[in-house]
Amino acid sequence: MTTSAKSFTPAPIGIETSSPVPPSSMTPPATSVSSTPSSLSPALLKNMDAYWRAANYLSVGQMYLCDNPLLRRPLALTDIKRMLLGHWGTTPGQNFIYVHLNRIIKQYDLDMIYVCGPGHGGPAVVANTYLEGTYSEVYPNISPDIAGLQKLFLQFSYPGGIPSHASPECPGSIHEGGELGYSLSHAFGAVFDNPDLIVACVIGDGEAETGPLATAWHSNKFLDPATDGAVLPILHLNGYKIANPALLARISHEELEQLLRGYGWTPYFVEGDDPALMHEAMARALDVAIAEIKTAQQNARRHGIQPRPRWPMIVLKSPKGWTGPKVVDGKQIEGSFRAHQVPVTDPSTHPGHLELIEHWLRSYRAEELFDADGRLIEALAVLAPKGQRRMGANPHANGGALLRDLHMPDYRDYAVDVPKPGERGIGDTRVLGKFLRDVTKMNNRERNFRVFGPDETLSNGLEALFEVTTRQWGAATLPNDELLAPTGRVMEMLSEHQCEGWLEGYLLTGRHGIFNCYEAFIHIIDSMFNQHAKWLKVTRQIPWRRPIASLNYLLASHVWRQDHNGFTHQDPGFIDVVVNKKAEVVRVYLPPDANCLLSVMDHCLRSRNYVNVVIAGKHPAPQWLTMDAAAKHCAAGIGIWDWAGNETSHEQTQSPDVVMACCGDVPTLETLAAVSILCTHMPELKVRVVNVVDLMKLQPHTEHPHGLTDTAFDEIFTKDKPIIFAFHGYPRLVHQLAYRRTNHANLHVRGYKEEGTITTPFDMTVLNDIDRFHLVIDTIDRLPQTGDKGHVLKQQLTEKLMEHRQYIVKHGQDMPEIRNWKWGNSS
Ligand X SMILES: Cc1ncc(C[n+]2csc(CCOP(=O)(O)OP(=O)(O)O)c2C)c(N)n1
Measured CA to CA, the distance from residue 238 to residue 241 in angstroms comes to: 9
Measured CA to CA, the distance from residue 578 to residue 527 in angstroms comes to: 10
Does 525 sit near ligand X (CB under 6 A)? no
From the CB of 320, what's the least distance to Mg ion, in Å? Answer: 6
Q: Stretches 242-250, 360-368, 468-476, 530-538: which one binds Mg ion (CB under 5 A)?
A: 242-250
Does 176 sit near ligand X (CB under 6 A)? no
From the CB of 238, what's the least distance to ligand X, in Å? Answer: 5
Does 670 sit near ligand X (CB under 6 A)? no
Q: Which is nearer to ligand X, 340 or 774 (CB)?
A: 340
Pairing of strands 687-692, 658-663: parallel
Assign 202 to helix, strand or coil. Answer: strand
Q: Which is nearer to ligand X, 321 or 513 (CB)?
A: 321
Count of residues touching ligand X (by CB under 6 A): 20
The torsion angle over the Cα atoms of residues 239, 524, 611 and 614, rounded to 10 degrees, is 160
Question: Residue 714 touches which of ligand X, Mg ion, none (CB < 5 to 8 A by kind)?
Answer: none
| The binder of ligand X chosen from 49, 179, 423, 455 (CB under 6 A) | 179
Cβ atoms < 10 Å from Cβ of 388: 13
The torsion angle over the Cα atoms of residues 430, 433, 435 and 437, rounded to 10 degrees, is -150
| The binder of Mg ion chosen from 111, 176, 205, 763 (CB under 5 A) | 205
Q: Stretches 200-208, 273-281, 512-520, 562-570: which one binds ligand X (CB under 6 A)?
A: 200-208
Q: Which amino acid is at 611?
A: V
Contact status, residue 436 vs residue 469, Cβ threshold 8 Å? no
The distance from CA 439 to its chain's CA centroid, rounded to whole angstroms, is 22
**Dihedral sign from CA coordinates of 312, 317, 318, 319:** positive
From the CB of 340, what's the least distance to Mg ion, in Å? Answer: 8
Pairing of strands 611-615, 586-589: parallel
DSSP state at residue 417: P
Does 256 sit near ligand X (CB under 6 A)? no
From the CB of 60, what's the least distance to ligand X, in Å? Answer: 16
Alpha-helical regions (H) of 316-444:
351-362, 366-369, 378-381, 428-442
Q: Which is nearer to Mg ion, 204 or 307 (CB)?
A: 204
Does 118 sit near ligand X (CB under 6 A)? yes
The torsion angle over the Cα atoms of residues 779, 785, 787 and 793, rounded to 10 degrees, is -30
x/- track of binding to ligand X for residues 332-371 (CB under 6 A): --------x-------------------------------
| The binder of ligand X chosen from 100, 241, 396, 800 (CB under 6 A) | 241
Work out the burial of residue 564: count CB atoms within 10 Å of its CB; fewer than 13 is exposed, 13-18 middle, 19 or more buried.
exposed
From the CB of 180, what's the least distance to ligand X, in Å? Answer: 4
Measured CA to CA, the distance from residue 726 to residue 753 in angstroms comes to: 12
| The binder of ligand X chosen from 23, 163, 171, 181 (CB under 6 A) | 181
Q: Stretches 199-207, 412-420, 711-719, 783-791: which one binds ligand X (CB under 6 A)?
A: 199-207
Does 448 sit near Mg ion (CB under 5 A)? no
| The binder of Mg ion chosen from 59, 238, 440, 759 (CB under 5 A) | 238
From the CB of 528, what's the least distance to ligand X, in Å? Answer: 10
Assign 226 to helix, strand or coil. Answer: coil
Q: Quick one: the chain helix, strand, coil %, rounded to 5? A: 45, 15, 45
Does 205 sit near ligand X (CB under 6 A)? yes
Q: Which is nearer to ligand X, 320 or 569 (CB)?
A: 320
Phi, psi at 66, each rounded to 5°: -115, -10
| The binder of ligand X chosen from 238, 595, 760, 765 (CB under 6 A) | 238
From the CB of 173, what's the least distance to ligand X, in Å? Answer: 16
- Which of 430, 612, 614 is CA-nearest to residue 507? 612
Does 236 sit near ligand X (CB under 6 A)? yes
- Which of 274, 280, 323, 322 is CA-nearest to residue 103? 280
Does 180 sit near ligand X (CB under 6 A)? yes
From the CB of 236, what's the least distance to Mg ion, in Å? Answer: 6
From the CB of 724, what's the least distance to ligand X, in Å? Answer: 43
Angle (nearest 5°) at CA 316 between 314 and 318:
175
Q: Interface residues for ligand X in 295-324 (CB under 6 A)?
A: 320
| The binder of ligand X chosen from 79, 111, 132, 207 (CB under 6 A) | 207
Does 89 sit near ligand X (CB under 6 A)? yes
Alpha-helical regions (H) of 443-495:
none
x/- track of binding to ligand X for residues 707-746 (CB under 6 A): ----------------------------------------
Residue 276: beta bridge partners?
Answer: none
Q: Stretches 238-246, 478-486, 590-598, 781-789: which one binds Mg ion (CB under 5 A)?
A: 238-246
Work out the burial of residue 72: count CB atoms within 10 Å of its CB; fewer than 13 is exposed, 13-18 middle, 19 or more buried.
exposed
Question: Residue 180 touches which of ligand X, Mg ion, none (CB < 5 to 8 A by kind)?
Answer: ligand X
Does 206 sit near Mg ion (CB under 5 A)? yes
Instruction: Give residue 335's region: left, alpha or beta (phi > 0; psi -120 to 50).
Output: left
Measured CA to CA, the distance from residue 334 to residue 462 in angstroms comes to: 54
Binding site for Mg ion (CB under 5 A): 204-206, 238, 246
Binding site for ligand X (CB under 6 A): 89-90, 118, 120, 179-181, 204-207, 210, 236, 238, 240-242, 246, 320, 340
